[in-house]
Chain A
Amino acid sequence: MTLTRYLTQLLKGNTDVLILSLLEREAMYGHQLMDELELASSGFFKISEGTLYPALHRLTRNGLICGKWAEIAPGKERKLYTVTPKGEQELAACRSTWGDFATAMGLVAGPATT
Chain B
Amino acid sequence: MFPQPPTYFDRLREHLRLDDSVESDIVRELQSHVEDGVDRLVHEGVPEHDARARVIGRMGRPQTLAHLMRRAHLVTPWPEALAGATPMLLMAALIAGTLWQQPVIALAASVLVVAVTLFGLFQGRPTWFYPWAGVALTMPLVAGYIAFEVLREQIPALASGSASPTVVLGIAGAGLYFPVGLIVVVGAVLVAARRDWLDASVLLSPLPGVFAWIIAVHHAGGIRHANASMAGTSQLLGVAYVCMAFATIVVLRARSRTTKIATMVVVAVALVSLGTPLDSQAALLTVGLRAGLLGVFLLSPALVVHQSLER
Contact = CB atoms under 8 A, between A and B. Distances in A.
B72 A58 contact: yes
A110 to B, nearest CB: 35
Interface string B62-105: 00110011011101010000000000000000000000000000
Contact of A50 (B25, B32, B68): B68
B304 interface: no
Question: Secondary structure of the A side of the interface?
Answer: helix
B10 interface: no
A48 B33 CA distance: 12
Interface in A54-102: 54-55, 57-58, 61, 63, 77-79
A28 to B, nearest CB: 12
A49 interface: yes
Contacts of B77: 61, 63
B212 to A, nearest CB: 36
Contacts of A49: 30, 33, 58-60, 65
Contacts, number: 50
Interface residues of B, number: 21
Contact of B69 (A30, A31, A53): A53
B265 to A, nearest CB: 27
Nearest to A51: B68
Contacts of B28: 79
B58 A48 contact: yes
A58 B255 CA distance: 12
Interface in B174-218: none
Contacts of A54: 68-69, 71-72
A57 B37 contact: no
B75 A61 contact: yes
6 nearest A-B residue pairs (beta carbon): A31-B36, A57-B72, A58-B72, A54-B68, A54-B72, A49-B59
Interface of B: 25-26, 28-30, 32-33, 36-37, 58-60, 64-65, 68-69, 71-73, 75, 77
